[in-house]
Every structure is written in C-alpha cells, then in structure tokens.
Structure 1
C-alpha cells in the first residue's frame, strides 16, 4: 500500500446520532484512525469526548459542538493520549476547557512528541492532517485516584481513570443518567484488541491489568457502550473484550510454560485466534499482544 492509498481519517459530523436525550455520538463507521466522538449536553454546559486526528477534523467537531451548545460553556476530554483521540485539542484552546487525568497528561507530555512523529511518518493523508499540529496540553489536570465529576447542569458526567491497560493513562467517561459509557481503546468492536507494544520505546500497555479493568467495567453493565472504534453496543461489548483478553493470555501463557520460542507462540496463537474470530480486523495486533503477555509472564 502506497502513502496515497492510506485511508483518509476524516470525521463525518453529518452522521451524528442521538443515542440518549441530549447525548450524541459521531460514529467512526469503521474508518481506520477515526474514533467515535461524543457530545454530551446539560442545561449549562456541553462536553466533547475526543477530537479526531488533526486540525481540520477538530474544527468540524468544535463547530458541531458549538452549534449544539448554543452559547453554553464547552468542555473537552479525551480517553487517552493517542493522536486520533487527542491531537486536535489545540483547536479548542480559548473555546473550551480541556480536562484530563494526570497519567494521561503525563503521557501527552512524555510520549506525545514521539507518537506525533510516528504518525506523521505514515505519510499520505495522515501526515497531511497532522501538519502544524502541536502536542496538546490539558487546561485542568485532576488526580487519578479521585476521578472527576463534571456538572453540566442537570447532568453529571464522571471522568474515571482506570489505571494501566491499553495505555498508562486510560480514562473512561460515564454518563450515569443515560447508562452510557465511553471506553476509548479499552474496548473496540469487530477487531482484535489494540496492543501498542513497541519495546523498548513504549511498553506501558499491560494485558494483565487491562483484563482486570475489563472485569470491573463489565460488572457495571452500562446500557450503551461507545467503544474507541467500531460499532456501538450494549454490555456484551465489554464482556467480549474481557473474554478475548483472557483467551489471548491463556493461550499465550500455556505455550510460554512449555518453553516454546516467542516466534512459535505468535504463529500458533495467531492462527488459533484468527480461526476463532475470522470476521475481526486488526490481525497485526495479535503478535503485539502475545509479545506483551510473554513479557508479563516472565515477571
């Protein structure tokens, strides 16, 4: 695939749909590097969840959110630091208050520049969307231990750090009155779990801790789950991701215990999981997941 054949990660605000009263989602329609984006409204303020990648996407999201807000105060939050979720936050400067948990803010500061460089190296439309984009910095950083309750007026949204999983700084966004949960990339639908396992540069992803997070989220049984990428669903989305992570861990570790080489483990586990989930995309993430869990097995 040449640079020009890479899909353009364009957010389509015209496709926004209301999934609960005063709660809209701009779906990604399974376009690579486009997240599901939330617009959550109360009587006094509106919260945007995720920006899309780059300036042009974020400008569309901001314009749409401003139209929804009709003069109400704007807030922005992101579920984690990866570029398609957060690297449009600069567009919201002076227009919205950007809230994030401390671990995510640390990720943006320490790893954001490297990820910006990596994504620009993909070339084509991805590089063009990131031209002139700075690494974002939140306006308000809250402590991970306490979480943050944001009062939008008649509706409280809960920002809840989960601890290390997909990244060190994952945060979920709960809308209790609507039974809606935004998971970021802790959960996807229709694809293998994304393991950003890039030793020695980035090894913060933890399959073991991610599984613990999913156990906890699944126990909450939200009415609607908005995954980082893929179709919206019910609580089964969380259960499916939890079950896959357990499957990946168990199949990796039983082979690790038999003293197989990592290359052999990857080959066997990859073939097995593709056979079990033939309709899922993102097969390249199986190898990364095996590598992560092999390293965690050795601890």
Structure 2
C-alpha cells in the first residue's frame, strides 16, 4: 500500500453518465479508492454494481439508484470483496437484494474484518469513510454463474476464478455489449496485486492472465474497469499485455537464479521506463513477488 496521503475517496454521483439504454456509470474520475459504479435497469428491476467505500458514499449511490428505479425492484452486486467496492452494502439492507458468487462471500466472511482494519489504517480520510461500517453479508449466494432477469434485459454474473482476488466476479450486460470487470482491469495504472503474505496470497498473476485471455475473447464493446477511464476491448488487452510483460520479465530473471531483491529492482526500473505515465507504482513490487512465488510452484 502507498504511504502517501490519500485524498477523500468521495463518490460523485452527479457525474453519472448513460453509456447505453437504461445503463448508467458513475465514473471514478481517477480518484483513489473510488471505483466505477454501475446502475443497470430493466423493465422490472435495477441492478447496482459496487457501492463505493463507506456509508455516506453508498447512501448517494442508493439515492441515485432509487431515483432511476422509480419503484422498480433493486438488486446489488459487488465485483469483489475489497472495501472501496463492497463496504457500503449495509446501506442497501431492506432496500435491495445483495447477491454475490460463493468465493466472494467466502472472502467477505474470512478476510473482510482484516481488510476493514487495514483500510482504516490508510489515513484519517479513509478511516472517517469507514466509521460505522460493518463487513457486508450477502442476501443471496450463487454457485458457478447467475443470470439475473431485470425484465427485458438479462445481466450475467460470472465468477472468474483466482485473479485479482479469489472471488472476482464480472458483470456482463449482453444486449448493450458492456462488461464490468472490477479490479481485473484498470486504466492508467499498474495492476493492483494485493499480495500480503502471510495474510492474503490469493492473488494469482498466472490465473489473472488466463482470466483476461477469456474475457478478451468475448469482445465487449464497452469495458468498465474497476478504476480509471472506460474504453473498448483495448482495456482488457492492455492489462493482459502488461501482466504478460510482468510475468516474462520476472520469470526470465528467476530462471537465471537471481535473488528476489535484484529481480524487484530490475523489473521495477524496466516497467517504470516503459510506462512512465502510469500511477500505482507501489504495486509493481508486489506483482513481482507474487509471480516469483508462483514460479516456484
């Protein structure tokens, strides 16, 4: 995690953009610890994708979703268990049905409290956002996959297997050609590797690459990344190419029996030279360490 002061991670619902019929995205405007949030409507119901971090952010999202819904039933899902994506879900209790895949529910139950405490340690602004927050508990948990009928529009919730987390889930809106990826894809920054041994080592660079290969093959028209600007299929291919680059540069040095400290220094310098404009530089080392561990398996 970065040690630099983190600006207030405030969701700005006033900036919501309609990117397809009855499909809004609240863009994160490149603000740290603010995800891109979706509001997807059908004739019968409306689905919210991710909440923002904390009660106040989630209250704004719920207010927007309720206004859009106009009396339609509300559902909530989250792309993965990390606090800026899911730790506002309590606000939706009694207002929406919260559903996630089983691996994400396991992540929430087993790691949620630890991540809540870790994020509270990121600084005063984040800690304030997490005042009164409880670890979310889903209403419905599904296995394998779930097709959610919103009325005239079916949204596909698909767990991906290990990548950024154990419980990653993508949300597909087939009629609009839109894919919400969560933190499996981001724009303008180095891929986020939550590699925190011995507490959390579920991120998998190898698995993540395989997931992106599969998602790229679906050729979505619009990709809504976890953080950063929306785009087309290139959002997926750019992250896939970076992960491939990270793996190859790390493993090539690992094969030559270099020490991990040397690998870290060389790969960091190389990737910063190749991607000088990207943010999140602190994640390079964690990615290298993760891939060094996977190389040994």
Residues 7-44 of structure 1, C-alpha deviation per residue, up to 9 Å, x if partnerless? 00000000000000100000000000000000000000
**C-alpha separation between the residues in 2 aligned to 1:25 and 1:272?**
35
SS at 1:33's partner residue? coil
Task: Kindly state the Cα deviation for residue 229 of structure 1 after the two structures are TM-superposed.
Answer: 0.1
Query: Is 1:98 aligned to residue 94 of structure 2?
Result: no
Give the conservation status (yes or no) of the 8 Å contact 1:107–1:169. Answer: yes
Q: How many residues align?
A: 296
Residue in structure 1 matching 2:193, options 192, 195, 200: 195
SS at 1:177's partner residue? helix
Structure 1 match to 2:270: 272
**C-alpha separation between the residues in 2 aligned to 1:268 and 1:163?**
30
Query: Is 1:141 aligned to residue 110 of structure 2?
Result: no
Task: Kindly state the Cα deviation for residue 69 of structure 1 after the two structures are TM-superposed.
Answer: 0.2
Question: 5+ residue gaps in structure 1?
Answer: none
Question: 5+ residue gaps in structure 2?
Answer: none
SS at 2:63's partner residue? helix
Give the conservation status (yes or no) of the 8 Å contact 1:46–1:74. Answer: yes
Q: CA RMSD in A?
A: 1.2
Task: Kindly state the Cα deviation for residue 154 of structure 1 after the two structures are TM-superposed.
Answer: 0.3
Structure 2 match to 1:222: 220
Structure 2 match to 1:40: 40
**C-alpha separation between the residues in 2 aligned to 1:55 and 1:123?**
17
Task: Kindly state the Cα deviation for residue 121 of structure 1 after the two structures are TM-superposed.
Answer: 1.1
SS at 1:227's partner residue? strand
SS at 2:176's partner residue? coil
**C-alpha separation between the residues in 2 aligned to 1:258 and 1:152?**
54
Equivalent positions of 1:91-170 (< 5 A) are 91-143=91-143, 145=144, 147-170=145-168
Give the conservation status (yes or no) of the 8 Å contact 1:4–1:125. Answer: no
Task: Kindly state the Cα deviation for residue 6 of structure 1 after the two structures are TM-superposed.
Answer: 2.4
Give the conservation status (yes or no) of the 8 Å contact 2:163–2:203. Answer: yes
Task: Kindly state the Cα deviation for residue 123 of structure 1 after the two structures are TM-superposed.
Answer: 2.4
Write out the 4+ residue segments of structure 1 that deviate beyond 4 Å after TM superposition: none
**C-alpha separation between the residues in 1 aligned to 2:227 and 2:38?**
12
**C-alpha separation between the residues in 1 aligned to 2:94 and 2:279?**
39
Task: Kindly state the Cα deviation for residue 5 of structure 1 after the two structures are TM-superposed.
Answer: 4.3
User: TM-score with structure 1 length normalisation?
Assistant: 0.98
Task: Kindly state the Cα deviation for residue 114 of structure 1 after the two structures are TM-superposed.
Answer: 0.1
